[in-house]
A and B are shown apart, each in its own frame.
Chain A
Amino acid sequence: MKISAQQYAQSLFDSVAGKSEKEVKAILKSFVAILGKNRELNKEVAIVTAFLEIWNQEHGEVVATLESARELGPTARETVVDYLKTKTDAAKIILEENIDKDLIGGFVLRYGSKVLDGSLKNSLNSLKNKISN
């Protein structure tokens, strides 16, 4: 039977849980050996993505990206992190910030498969749609 990337990632996560750095190195070595034997080294990207997902889920971490027109101040950032914490029940929020001048104003927050689009660009677009219809 074929083993999916998800299954590889899950077993990797299970085997490295609570191990020391040295042990992890050994585990990774044999893990890669298995992948090589199964001729599935090309699944690397998918396995890494799935592994990160499992890791984040198990450790209560949420990765979110925030695009804004200007850099956010500390209070604004705090508000965003608090919002995410209440929404996702996560212990830790990893916020990746990007500056995107095209948004004109406001921000776009993405986490998981959710998007909170509060950018001026989006509002203008919907205003445009409303007028043209």
Chain B
Amino acid sequence: MSTTKDFIVAQLKEEISGFKAEISEKSVGKVLKVSDGIALVSGLAEAMMSEILIFKTETVEVTGVALNLEENQVGAIILGDYTAIKEGDEVIATKRILEVPVGENMIGRVVNPLGEPMDGKGKIEAAKFYPIEKIAPGVITRTGVKEPVQTGIKAIDAMIPIGRGQRELIIGDRQLGKTALAIDTIINQKGQNMKCIYVAIGQKESKVANLVTKLTEAGAMNYTTVVLAGASTSASLLYIAPYAGCAMAEYFLDKGEDVLIIYDDLSKHAVSYREISLLLRRPPGREAYPGDVFYLHSRLLERACKLNKDFGGGSITALPIIETQAGDLSAYIPTNVISITDGQIFLEPDLFYKGNRPAVNAGLSVSRVGSSAQIKAMKKVAGKMRLEAAQYRELAAFAQFGSDLDADTRKKLERGKRLYEIFKQDQYQPLSVAKQVAVYYALINGFMDNVPVEKIKEFEAGLYKYADLNDAVLKAIETKKEIDAEVETSLKKLIEDYKATVDYLIK
């Protein structure tokens, strides 16, 4: 045995002789009132905004954060078990702003908003601590969005492209696949030089557990951190969760890396902030949200950025998610977040129940900056796709009334049907950009016009398989990122060769 009792005793003696209790002046207060995760504290004259406070109870020490600084008292949210705190307990100010551990070791882990592990894989050695609230990078440090985030979702990459450093809102009713879009995007970041952070705010823990399993299966946990503030977590932790996730992202940003962060979802975040605000007796406004609920989200999303080369060239791409009630886009929080972000992906129940999944509404979805980030090849094939898709839906609705249509309209309708068929995509199956280009090329150049609509899916799957077997073309698209004459001829040949092998073409 390597450890003897003498050794232990000697070590203990050494430790104790080296121990020096620090005597320093501390700012203290007393708990006046505790309720529902909120405490009112007297004293603490020098408390700072969002400073960590320690509540000394009989059994444990509970942390809290100062949120309301008033004349005679401080309002604080409690980040732990508030039932242990009693009136009259001592509260100590720590002179530290709330911060979370960040670093490479957070990757592959599931943590709570304070950076503590939730996955039972042991302690996390943090490289650094970052404050959860930080002023967003200024104008001087930024540059335009120009590199793409490949979501791997055909409808999005073609019509609503997202660039690195962009903030793209995913909005829709419950159960329309908002989270699925985000997860597919994370899965597709494999080998794309991207770190991912998924912040679950008020989500069912069973759903998050499922999702972590899926990510692990897809090998996506090798570059992903999950920040989990589940439905059973207190409002205070829900409130800080997105800021904590953003702080973890900023660590990689500062290293010049690209990060994708998903806030799922910000409507629950707003609700938790409303709860805190009302308990702190801040005056309620529209829908009982406090006056600063816009700033709540704008300061968070403004931290998404693309830095220029002088500042490391990193980026944070934010995909906030908002859940609407019965498709009401004009509610308070949805309008706020729509106005903050650089575009939105709107998911529609009608499309979803018709079987068009992902149910992206082409007309209402936009990306204000993403098109400059699209690769040339995609731009060439997907140029007017959004317009065409939107037109098709109008035309299809109109065409229901009459059967006498001119050839041009009929052609448009047929093309549109096939386009919508291509937009359909199963969950957990993101598609590489080269394959997307290939299938769109086939469509817009009329190669699919004689494929029956109900066979499109089969045709598409076969085309990918065939392209994988002769992968020179895909590789050329991936490396050149554009369709030059050489690529075009080989792509044409590939599609024609493949078409020769299928037997269901319309004669």
Residue numbers of A with Cβ under 8 A of B are 6, 87, 110, 112-118, 122-123, 126-127, 130-131
Contact = CB atoms under 8 A, between A and B. Distances in A.
Chain B CB within 10 Å, residue with most, of A6, A113, A115: A113
A116 B25 contact: yes
A113 B19 contact: no
Contact of A115 (B21, B28, B46, B71): B28
A130 B25 contact: no
Interface string B44-56: 1110000000000
The 6 closest A-B pairs by CB, nearest first: A123-B21, A113-B43, A118-B23, A115-B28, A113-B45, A116-B25
A114 B15 CA distance: 30
A126 to B, nearest CB: 5
Contacts of A6: 71-72
B23 A116 contact: yes
B61 to A, nearest CB: 9
Given A114-B26, A127-B21, 7 more contacts: A112-B45, A113-B44, A114-B25, A115-B25, A116-B25, A127-B16, A131-B15
Contacts of A131: 15
A113 B28 contact: yes
13 contacts: A6-B71, A110-B28, A112-B43, A112-B45, A113-B27, A113-B29, A113-B45, A114-B28, A115-B25, A116-B24, A117-B23, A117-B26, A127-B16
B35 to A, nearest CB: 21
Nearest to B24: A116
Interface in B34-93: 43-46, 71-72
Contacts of B19: 127, 130
B26 A115 contact: yes
A118 B24 CA distance: 8
Nearest to A106: B23
A127 B16 CA distance: 8
Interface of B: 15-16, 19, 21-29, 43-46, 71-72
Contacts of B46: 113
B27 A114 contact: yes
A87 to B, nearest CB: 8
B424 to A, nearest CB: 55
B249 to A, nearest CB: 29
Nearest to B41: A113
B195 to A, nearest CB: 31
A122 B21 contact: yes
B334 to A, nearest CB: 39
A51 to B, nearest CB: 14
Nearest to B29: A113
Contacts of B26: 114-117
A53 B29 CA distance: 16
Contacts of B27: 113-115
A114 B21 CA distance: 18
A127 B20 CA distance: 8
A118 B22 CA distance: 8
A126 B71 CA distance: 32
A117 B46 CA distance: 18
A80 B66 CA distance: 31
Contacts of B45: 112-113
Nearest to A50: B72
A127 B29 CA distance: 23
A85 to B, nearest CB: 15
B410 to A, nearest CB: 75
A9 B20 CA distance: 45
A55 to B, nearest CB: 17
Contacts of A87: 25
Nearest to B28: A115
Contacts of B23: 116-118
Contacts of B24: 116
A116 B27 CA distance: 9
A114 B71 CA distance: 17
A40 B45 CA distance: 28
Contacts of A118: 23
B64 to A, nearest CB: 16
A112 B46 CA distance: 11
A100 B19 CA distance: 25
A122 B29 CA distance: 17
A116 B25 CA distance: 5
A85 B164 CA distance: 58
A114 B92 CA distance: 9
A87 B22 CA distance: 19
Nearest to A46: B72
Contacts of A112: 43, 45
Contacts of B43: 112-113
Nearest to A131: B15
Nearest to A53: B72
Given A112-B45, A113-B43, A126 B25 contact: no
A130 B19 CA distance: 9
A131 to B, nearest CB: 8
Chain B CB within 10 Å, residue with most, of A87, A116, A117, A118: A117
Contacts of B72: 6
